[in-house]
């Protein structure tokens, strides 16, 4: 039943997304541009950072490709939940949904499914183009990568839901979004390995789920680490999930209840 | 056996945003507005119950509390026997909520896509959902336009879509918040006939409807409550309320003045008299099918 409901949300959002046809295709097109940019940056950088890149196979383009591709999930999570909830609040459709027996948690969770599917499609494009440009993933541990992917989506999604709860309650200025947007590129190992950072700054990296997602993903896809070798990352992401999933659902429930007290489920 | 809708001292106070100067001048003053104050009503199954009051009287707040979209500050209420606070999920399963707010759809989806989406939130899927949506589209006479985008619909069609959505789960109780608000007089009249004939008489639903039209209340409702500034002034059938005035040829306007001490200001002047004739005609003429409003 939840699958059918999920499908119904996906169909809604797919139709809405493709109703802006031009934007839909434009977004796909620009993926090529961003990948090419990093391809040439990698050419310039060459083997300069070899020592730091060694744990990930030693090639900067492969390293940054995975970083850019999978950090897309965090950006999607941070934007999509809060944008969709805010949009539905303004349109009045949030109220129309909340007057049905479907729970608020299901509504928020399903409301971003399509965006995650679209992001996955984009990630796949990144990887395919990367392979065409010479990235070697012939040893990839697909099962390990899938495990890390699922945990990544769960962690990032929860962060997105917490952020949406803040937006719903405070209307603007959401600290969660600012924190993760502000720190992830610098500390999360998106564009360069965290070992480049001074040691004391690396402690910040270790409290960010994205650090484990990206490093696990690189190990799984580029170097084909076994599940056993991926255990540190998988366990870290599991711990984040166990904390973040219930927190996010509680935060959202709180936000909805507060909106019911304030009468602000619908806003003009 | 409980009534279909029952409220006990139902009250809603909204906190108001304090202005910066107020905050310093009266730091302890509580800035709140009482939108609904100690409301007690009982509504029986199958009634078409109206809540009449000017803008800002508290009609929307009361309806939304009963629909579990706003939580009460004090008091309790039961809808279909379920406590709106403790059993809100059960309440939502058994009600339909229809607003005049035409924004509350996805404008870039078609009418049918909209209804199917909301059907899935009521746990109707695939064949069941299609069947239900088709039934409702024919009920509101929109089969031909069902596959056009919502944004291409007229105000009347959007309102009919809102009604179809409110009936998706075949609810026992239907709440309608000023359903004719956005409609021109002719369309409003057709909608009233539709509510009376199709929803109450044919489908035997309990309808709780708010309006700020004297004529609408008079023409449509079995019983009404007059509400002003969040407080109930009087409850009864239109006949009772009028005869209580002990005055020749009383109007509902007189009733309103008598109980609130104010003139009732109608936003859009309408002609309830002509409306009434048309309704009688409609009831005998059987032109309910393919209705346009
Ligand atoms: N979310 C809210 N926050 C503060 N005040 C509100 C809110 N909603 C309604 N009110 C106030 O409560 C009163 C009743 O409003 P409402 O129920 O919308 O009246 P009606 O539907 O009869 O026009 C009005 O004075 C309105 O300004
Ligand atoms: Mg209102």
Mean pLDDT of A21-48: 80
**Which pLDDT value is given to residue A35?**
86
Q: Is the CB of A46 under 6 A from ligand 1?
A: no
Q: Which of A9, A18, A96, A106 to mutate to test the interface with B (most CBs of B within 10 A)?
A: A96
| A18 touching B (Cβ < 8 Å) | no
Please tell me the number of the ligand nearest to residue B58's CA.
Answer: 1
Delimit the domains of chain B by residue range: 3-93+224-280
What does the alpha-carbon distance between residue A211 and residue A199 come to, in Å, rounded to a whole number? 15
Contact call for A260 and B117, based on CB within 8 A: no
Contact call for B109 and A1, based on CB within 8 A: no
Of the candidates A16, A101, A257, the beta carbon closest to that of B106 is on A16
Q: What DSSP letter does each residue of A8-22 carry, written as one string?
A: HHHHHHHHHHHTSHH
Residues of B in contact with A253 (CB under 8 A): none
3-state secondary structure of B11: strand
Q: Per residue in B97-110, pLDDT tens?
A: 999 887 899 999 99
DSSP letter for B110, please.
B
Surrounding ion ligand 2 within 5 Å at CB are: B 60
Query: B133-137 long-range contacts, Cβ below 8 Å, gap at least 24?
Result: B133/B164, B133/B168, B136/B164, B136/B167, B136/B168, B137/B111, B137/B112, B137/B164
What does the alpha-carbon distance between residue A238 and residue A158 come to, in Å, rounded to a whole number? 13
What does the alpha-carbon distance between residue B111 and residue B168 come to, in Å, rounded to a whole number? 13
| B198 touching A (Cβ < 8 Å) | no
Q: Per residue in A205-248, pLDDT tens?
A: 999 999 999 999 999 999 999 999 999 999 999 999 999 999 99
Contact call for A262 and B106, based on CB within 8 A: no
Residue with tokens 């999360």: A188
**Which pLDDT value is given to residue B22?**
67
Q: Is the CB of B69 under 6 A from ligand 1?
A: no
B10, B15, B18, B35: which to mutate for ligand 1, most atoms within 8 A of CB?
A: B35
Q: Is the CB of A263 under 6 A from ligand 1?
A: yes
Contact call for A99 and B95, based on CB within 8 A: yes
Q: Tell me the shortest Cα–Cα distance from A39 to chain B, in angstroms.
A: 39
Q: Per residue in B231-276, pLDDT tens?
A: 999 999 999 998 888 888 888 888 888 888 888 776 544 444 433 3
Q: pTM score > 0.90 for this model?
A: no
Of the candidates B68, B121, B165, the beta carbon closest to that of A102 is on B121
Residues of B in contact with A92 (CB under 8 A): 99, 101, 103-104
Q: Which ipTM score applies to this complex?
A: 0.90
- CATH class for the region spanning B3-93+224-280: alpha beta
Residue with CA at minimum distance from ligand 1 atom 27: B56
What does the alpha-carbon distance between residue B85 and residue B77 come to, in Å, rounded to a whole number? 8
**Which pLDDT value is given to residue A26?**
77
The answer to whether A157 touches A112, Cβ cutoff 8 Å, is yes
Q: Is the CB of B51 under 6 A from ligand 1?
A: no
Nearest CA in chain B to A95: B69
Q: For chain B, where are the alpha helices, taking DSSP H only? A: 20-25, 59-66, 88-93, 111-121, 126-139, 155-166, 185-194, 214-220, 238-243, 252-260, 272-285
Residues 76-115 of B with CB under 8 A from A: 89, 92-93, 95, 97, 99, 101, 103-106, 108-109, 113
Contact call for B125 and A15, based on CB within 8 A: no
The answer to whether B54 touches B264, Cβ cutoff 8 Å, is yes
Residues 2-41 of B with CB under 8 A from A: 12, 14-15
List phi, psi (to 5°) of B140: -90, 5
Q: Is the CB of B61 under 6 A from ligand 1?
A: yes
Please tell me the number of the ligand nearest to residue B61's CA.
Answer: 1
**Which pLDDT value is given to residue A247?**
96
Q: Is the CB of B10 under 6 A from ligand 1?
A: no
Residues of A in contact with B18 (CB under 8 A): none
What does the alpha-carbon distance between residue B185 and residue B175 come to, in Å, rounded to a whole number? 21
The answer to whether A20 touches B106, Cβ cutoff 8 Å, is no
Q: Per residue in A64-92, pLDDT tens?
A: 999 999 999 999 999 999 999 988 988 89
Tokens (6 digits) for B284: 């005998």
Q: Which helix (H) or strand (E) holds A183?
A: helix A175-187
Delimit the domains of chain A by residue range: 2-262
Regions of chain B where pLDDT drops below 50: 268-293
- CA B35 to centroid of ligand 1, rounded, Å: 6
- CA B178 to centroid of ligand 2, rounded, Å: 7
**For residue A192, which of B74, B255, A201 has the smallest C-alpha distance?**
A201
CA angle B248, B253, B255 (to 5 degrees): 65
Q: What number does the ligand 1 atom closest to the CA of A264 have?
A: 1
**For residue B63, which of B217, B195, B174, B171 has the smallest C-alpha distance?**
B174
Strand partners, B206: B173
| A11 touching B (Cβ < 8 Å) | yes
Give A254 or B274, the one with higher predicted confidence.
A254
Of the candidates B15, B69, B106, the beta carbon closest to that of A95 is on B69
The answer to whether B177 touches B146, Cβ cutoff 8 Å, is no
3-state secondary structure of B19: coil
**Which pLDDT value is given to residue A19?**
76
Write the CB contacts of B136 (distance below 8 Å, at least 6 apart in sequence).
B115, B164, B167, B168
Q: Is the CB of B34 under 6 A from ligand 1?
A: no
Contact call for A261 and B118, based on CB within 8 A: no
């Amino acid at each position: 039943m939840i699958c059918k409901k999920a499908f119904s949300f996906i169909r809604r959002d797919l139709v809405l997304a493709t109703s802006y046809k031009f934007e839909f295709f434009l977004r796909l097109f620009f993926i090529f541009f961003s990948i090419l940019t990093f391809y040439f940056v990698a050419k310039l950088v060459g083997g300069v950072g070899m020592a730091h890149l060694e744990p990930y196979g030693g090639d900067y383009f492969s390293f940054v490709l995975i970083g850019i591709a999978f950090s897309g999930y965090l950006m999607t999570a941070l934007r999509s939940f809060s944008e969709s909830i805010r949009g539905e609040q303004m349109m009045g459709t949030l109220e129309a949904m909340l007057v049905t027996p479907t729970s608020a948690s299901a509504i928020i969770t399903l409301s971003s499914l399509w965006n995650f599917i679209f992001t996955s499609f984009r990630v796949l494009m990144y990887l395919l183009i990367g392979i065409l440009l010479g990235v070697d993933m012939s040893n990839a541990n697909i099962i390990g990568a899938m495990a890390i992917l699922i945990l990544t989506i769960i962690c990032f999604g929860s962060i997105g839901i917490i952020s949406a709860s803040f937006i719903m309650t405070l209307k603007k200025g959401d600290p969660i979004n600012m924190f993760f947007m502000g720190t992830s590129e610098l500390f999360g190992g998106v564009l360069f390995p965290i070992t480049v950072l001074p040691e004391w700054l690396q402690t910040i990296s270790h409290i960010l789920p994205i650090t484990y997602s990206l490093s696990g993903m690189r190990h799984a896809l580029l170097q084909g680490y076994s599940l056993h070798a991926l255990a540190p990352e998988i366990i870290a992401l599991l711990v984040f999930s166990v904390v973040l999933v219930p927190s996010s659902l509680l935060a959202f429930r709180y936000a909805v209840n507060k909106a019911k007290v304030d009468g602000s489920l619908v806003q003009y | 056996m409980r009534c279909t809708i029952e409220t006990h001292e139902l009250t809603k106070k909204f906190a108001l945003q304090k202005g910066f100067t107020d905050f310093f001048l009266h730091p302890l003053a509580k800035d709140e507005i009482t939108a609904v104050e100690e409301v007690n009503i009982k509504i029986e199954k199958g009634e078409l119950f109206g809540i009449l009051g000017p803008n800002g009287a508290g009609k929307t707040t009361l309806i939304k509390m009963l629909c579990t979209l706003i939580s009460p500050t004090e008091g309790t209420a039961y809808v279909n026997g379920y406590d709106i606070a403790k059993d809100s999920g059960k309440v939502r399963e058994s009600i339909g909520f229809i607003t005049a707010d035409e924004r509350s759809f996805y404008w870039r989806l078609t009418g049918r896509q909209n209804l199917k989406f909301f059907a899935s939130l009521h746990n109707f899927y695939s064949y069941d959902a299609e069947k239900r949506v088709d039934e409702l589209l024919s009920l509101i006479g929109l089969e031909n336009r069902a596959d056009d985008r919502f944004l291409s619909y007229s105000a009347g069609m959007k309102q009919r879509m809102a009604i179809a959505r409110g009936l998706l789960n075949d609810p026992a109780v239907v709440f309608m918040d000023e359903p004719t608000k956005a409609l021109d007089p002719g369309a409003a009249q057709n909608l009233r006939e539709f509510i009376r004939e199709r929803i109450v008489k044919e489908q035997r639903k309990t309808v709780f409807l708010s309006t700020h039209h004297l004529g609408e209340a008079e023409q449509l409702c079995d019983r009404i409550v007059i509400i002003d500034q969040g407080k109930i002034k009087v409850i009864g059938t239109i006949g009772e309320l009028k005869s209580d005035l002990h005055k020749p040829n009383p109007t509902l306007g007189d009733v309103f003045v008598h109980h609130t001490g104010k003139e009732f200001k109608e936003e859009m002047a309408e002609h309830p008299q002509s409306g009434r004739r048309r309704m009688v005609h409609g009831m005998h003429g059987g032109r309910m099918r393919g209705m346009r409003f």
